[in-house]
Amino acid sequence: MKRMVLICFTLLVAMVMQGQSRLLDLSLDVTLLDNGDGYVHEVRTYDVKPNEGVTESYIVFENLDNKGITIGDLYEVEDGDTTQYTWIGDWDIHQKRAKKLFHYGVHTVSDTHRELCWGVKDGLHTYHITYTINKLIESFEESDGMGHVFVTKNIRPEPKRVKVTFRKEDAPLDSSTHIWAFGYEGTILHTDEGVVEATPESFSTKEHVAVMMEFPKGMFHPEAMAEGTFEDFKKEAFKGSSYEKTSNAPFFCFLGGVGAMLLAIFLFFDGLRKKYYRWRLLGGGKLSWFREIPFKGDLVLSDVTFRSVNNLGRDSMADKETLIECYTLRLLQQGKLEITQCQEKDKSVPRLKVVPQSYREDYYSSNRDEENQYLLWSFYKKAAREDLVVDTTDISDLANSDPTYVEKVFNKIETGSLVGSDDWNHEEMMNLMGLKKFLEEFTLIKERGMVEVNLWNEYLVYALLFGISEKVMKDFKETCPEYFKMSDFGMQIEEITAAGGVGGLASLLSTYSRSSYNSYCDAWFHNQRGKSLSSSSYSRSGGGGRSSRGGGRSFSGRGRGGGGLR
C-alpha cells in the first residue's frame, strides 16, 4: 500500500512539473563600446503553459549607481520570421493580457528599481531584447574596469541554461584583459575567438552572474571617472569570495621563519648527501676523460642519462627546451639554418635565417634526433617572414595565430621515456660524464692534436647539453683558433663572437630555444581554454577559471533581483 502511495505521489509531482512554465535559455551578448558603454543583446526562450495566468515577462534593473539604461528594440523570432514589439513607455503590470501582447515598456517600482516588461504568449517562444548599460566601464587611476551584475538572482522560473558573453566592439579581448566572476558555480574563460564567456554549470534562484573586468589604459576611452584605484575596487569585490586571500600574518610569519631555518639545515645536509652519492656513482673520483661522443650522438638518451645522474639515479626525463637548443645548433652546423645580421634600432643584431629546401617535402627519418631536428626546422620555417628571417616576435605570433599547429609540432618532438639508473648502460654513462670532465678541463690538456670539424661541432652541442657552452667556447677560442676557420659555421661563430663576445652564440641559442618553448607553452594553454577546469581552480590574477559563489557585493546591478514570468 505504501509503495502504491509513493508511486502515485511521484507521478503527481511529475505531472505538476510538466505543467509548469519554463525558462529554457537565458543568454546575454555584451558588446563593450569604446566610450565605456555596454550594448546588450539578451535572448530568452520561454515555454509558457496555458491556464497559469502568465501575462508578461520582465527584467529587473536595480541599484545602477551612476549608470543608466537605454532601452533598444524588443522582438520575437519564430521560424525565421521576426515580429517587432511596440514601445509604449510606462507599463501597467495590472492591465489585461491582450493589451500587453506585442508591446513593451518600463514599470518603475522605485528610484533604484525598474523593470523592463513585455507581453508573452503561450507555448515555446524566443524573445530578443536590446539595451545599453551606460557608463559600464569606468576609468580608474591605474587602469579601466567594470563590476556589474548581469543576471540577477530570484529569476522565476529558474533558467535551465545561462550564458553571458563579452566582446570588444572592434577587436578581440586579448590576454591583457583580467576577468573574474561571482555569484554562481561555473567558469569564466577567454575563448579562441577573443571573447569572454561566463558560464554557470547550473542556475538556481539563489545565484546570479556578476562579472568584474580590468583593462589596460588605452583599450577603451570611458567617459565615466571612478574614484580611487582599481586595486581598491578589486579588494572590496574579493571580500567573502573564493579569490580572497585570508591569512593570520603574525602566526604565519613565525612559521615561515622556523620553516626557513629548518629548510636551510635540510638543504645543507642534503647537499652533502648528494655530493657523496654522486662521487660514488662516478667511480669514487676515478672518472677519466672521454674524448669521443657517447651514445653515438643520441641527444635524447644523453640528456636523459645526464639528468638522471644529477637526480642521483632516480627516474628522469630529457628537457625539451635543452633539446631545442641543441637541435638549433645542429641545424646551424648542417647549414639548414644561418645566422644573419639585421639592423634594428640603429644597431646590428644576430637573427636566425631558414635555408629553404633543406628537406624534401616527404622527409621522414627513423632516427629520433634527425626527425626532431626536421620538426624544429619546419617550425622555424612556418614562423619566418618572407625573407626567411625569424625572430622571437615571429615565433610568438605563430603561437597566437596557429596554436594547434605549434602544440602539435612540439608534442611530436620526442624527449624519451623515463629512465633510471637500473636502465643505464653504465659504461656509456661513464663516457658521458667523462666527456663533460674533458670539456671542463680542456685547457689543461697538453696534447690535443688536430681534431676534425664534425667532432668539434659535437663538442659544442654537448657543451650546450651540459650547460657549459660559454666556458667551452672561450676555451676553444683561446686554444684552437683554427676551428673558426675550418667551416662556414665556424666563421659565422667568429662574426657573432666579434659582435657579442664569447657568449654571443650561447645567448642567441638560449633566446631562440626559450622563445620556442614558451610558444609551445602558450599554445598549450591557449588550446586548454574552454575545457573544463577542476573545482579548486581559481585565479586571483584575473586569468579566468572558476567563478566564486561569494563576493562582488559592491557592484552595480546588485539587489534582491527577480524577473522572469508573472
Asked if residue 436 is part of any domain, the answer here is: yes
Task: Based on the fold, state whether residues 375 and 316 are members of the same structural domain.
Answer: yes
User: Burial, 330: exposed, middle or buried (Cβ in 10 Å; 0-12, 13-18, 19+)?
Assistant: buried
Query: Cα angle vertex 523, ends 521, 525, to 5°?
Result: 70
Task: Based on the fold, state whether residues 267 and 356 are members of the same structural domain.
Answer: no
Q: Name every residue whose Cβ is closer than 8 Å to that of residue 381 and which is 6 or more positions away in sequence.
A: 354, 356, 388
Number of domains comprising the chain: 3
Task: Based on the fold, state whether residues 203 and 276 are members of the same structural domain.
Answer: no
Asked if residue 6 is part of any domain, the answer here is: no
Task: Based on the fold, state whether residues 207 and 351 are members of the same structural domain.
Answer: no
CB atoms within 10 A of CB 266: 10
Q: 403-457: per-residue pLDDT in tens?
A: 889 888 888 886 665 444 455 677 888 898 889 988 888 766 555 455 566 788 8
**Which of 244, 247, 248 minimizes the C-alpha distance to 538?**
244
Task: Based on the fold, state whether residues 295 and 274 are members of the same structural domain.
Answer: no
Task: Based on the fold, state whether residues 203 and 274 are members of the same structural domain.
Answer: no
Task: Based on the fold, state whether residues 316 and 395 are members of the same structural domain.
Answer: yes
Task: Based on the fold, state whether residues 71 and 204 are members of the same structural domain.
Answer: yes
Stated pTM of the model:
0.51
Q: 510-563: per-residue pLDDT in tens?
A: 888 888 888 887 777 666 543 333 333 455 556 666 777 777 777 888 878 889
Which grid cell sits at 75? 522582438
Amino acid of residue 326? C
Task: Based on the fold, state whether residues 269 and 293 are members of the same structural domain.
Answer: no
Asked if residue 7 is part of any domain, the answer here is: no
Task: Based on the fold, state whether residues 346 and 491 are members of the same structural domain.
Answer: yes
Do residues 520 and 395 lie in contact, with contact meaning Cβ atoms separated by under 8 Å?
no
Mean pLDDT of each 10-residue bin along the chain, 566 residues long = 49 51 94 95 93 92 89 90 94 94 94 94 93 95 94 94 94 88 90 87 90 93 91 88 59 64 77 66 74 89 81 60 91 90 80 90 84 93 93 87 87 64 70 88 60 78 89 78 72 66 70 84 63 43 70 81 90
Paired with 124 in beta bridges are: 47
Task: Based on the fold, state whether residues 140 and 272 are members of the same structural domain.
Answer: no
Task: Based on the fold, state whether residues 192 and 273 are members of the same structural domain.
Answer: no
Asked if residue 534 is part of any domain, the answer here is: no
Question: What is the predicted pLDDT for the residue at 254?
Answer: 63
Please give the residue range of the domain that contains residue 264.
250-281
